[in-house]
Amino acid sequence: MDIAIQLAKSFDVDLYMILSSNNNIPFFEEQNIRILPFPRSQAQKMEFWARLFSGGKKYKAVIGTPLEGAWLSYQVSKIQGIPFYYFADELFKNLTAHKTQQQKKVLVKRMKNIQRNAAATIIPSIIYTGPDMSLDERLNIDPYYLAVKSEREEFLETKQDTGHSFIVLPNAPSYTAKKQRSHFYRDIFNIDDDKPILFYAGTLDWALSRKIFEETKSYQDKPYHLIFQARTLGLMGDTPHPFIKISTVPIPSSMMNYAVSSVDIGLALYDKNRPKEAENGFSSGKIGTYLKNEIPMIAGSLPEFKAFETHGVATFWDGEEAFDNIALRSISELEANRRKVPAFYEKYLQYEVFFEKLYTNIITATRTH
């Protein structure tokens, strides 16, 4: 959403997205952002290409992600003679996990062709490049190294000799970190006491969230509430959890900051023993959402997540200690950690600060086409 919001300050924006029951349509206050169906059916494809070939609106630039979107955007760029940007925000091997070897071969060839012709490649920060690297090193190291040494290296080609740019855009909301006045989850669950709320947004398919789900079944009265905003109903069983308050109602994007501002500590949980989780790491959207709303975190169990504790915006959890112990320690550090969030967010995650490089690149590229 934020890339569209930032682009809309200078351009009209057409956002093509797959419309489905599990892919909520975002709400934008900006009147110059249009949401259009991504062409998948034969009828949609005919309408899409007819509009481009009939002398309709010519775009200034096009940005595509991940596989279908990138390939379509590349084709549009060739037809309209405009710069194309590849947004590598999904893991190629996950997207192709159920493809045949022949299908993968075709997709790899396409991705390399896309990469070769992109004006720049956009990658999410802060990308994991090794447990011995500090956050500053991750952010300031040569962006080419950031990209090709990440999990995306299997289809990102070397472009050092041709001056290709890698632009880092954090998976975080725009503008400064600020906690809104909100009682959203206290109202939802009728919580009227002063106990802090520990909050997890995400799937129970992650190992540590399932560990907490099982461990806390034996919990009774604690000096905190635990709320899961979860997507995976089928993993929860049929009976209510005796301790965790669970919401499965999707939060509209326009209300996300308001809702998250009503909690006190956010859980960012990625198991170090599961490659699928480790690869998400610093590019996790929930980290940006928590910190945008001045919510310090419990972060674990990736070793590199200790950096959040070092910077004073989280309590690190190794995944082995009893959750109640880490919850109580995080509560004791809550106010001290919260005070450090705004400066940390501005330096490492504030979206529009990083967006400036992409905007400058687009302006330069459109002048040469």
Domain boundaries, the chain: 2-171+351-367, 184-348
Residue 150 has pLDDT above 50, yes or no: no
Residue 161 has pLDDT above 70, yes or no: no
As a whole number of angstroms, the distance between CA 170 and CA 354 comes to 7
Percent with pLDDT over 90 in the chain = 44
Tell me what pLDDT residue 148 has.
Answer: 37
Radius of gyration of the chain (CA): 22
Picking from 153-157, 188-192, 246-250, 283-287, which range would have the lowest pLDDT averaged per residue? Answer: 153-157
Nearest to 330 by CA among 263, 266, 240, 248: 266
Tell me what pLDDT residue 54 has.
Answer: 77
Residue 202: pLDDT band with limits 50, 70, 90: confident
Q: Looking at domain 184-348, does it have CATH number 1.20.1370.20?
A: no
Whether 184-348 and 2-171+351-367 are alike in CATH topology: the answer is yes
Residue 125: pLDDT band with limits 50, 70, 90: low
For 132, 280, 310, the CA distances from 304, given in Å and listed in that order, are 8, 12, 10
As a whole number of angstroms, the distance between CA 199 and CA 207 comes to 16
Residue 152 has pLDDT above 50, yes or no: no
Token pair in block for residue 265: 């500590």
Tell me what pLDDT residue 127 has.
Answer: 44
As a whole number of angstroms, the distance between CA 244 and CA 219 comes to 9
Question: pLDDT digit string (tens) for 315-342?
Answer: 999 999 999 999 999 999 999 999 999 9
Q: Is residue 204 left, alpha or beta, with left meaning phi > 0 and alpha meaning psi from -120 to 50?
A: alpha
Residue 181 has pLDDT above 80, yes or no: yes
Q: Are 263 and 197 in contact (CB under 8 A)?
A: yes
Token pair in block for residue 227: 């709320």
Question: pLDDT digit string (tens) for 11-30?
Answer: 999 999 987 766 678 888 89
Most confident of 43-52, 187-196, 276-285: 187-196
Residue 159: pLDDT band with limits 50, 70, 90: very low
Picking from 93-97, 125-129, 262-266, 345-349, which range would have the lowest pLDDT averaged per residue? Answer: 125-129
- 62-64/265-270 β-pairing: unpaired
Options 3.40.50.2000, 3.40.50.300, 1.10.606.20, 3.40.50.720; CATH of 2-171+351-367: 3.40.50.2000
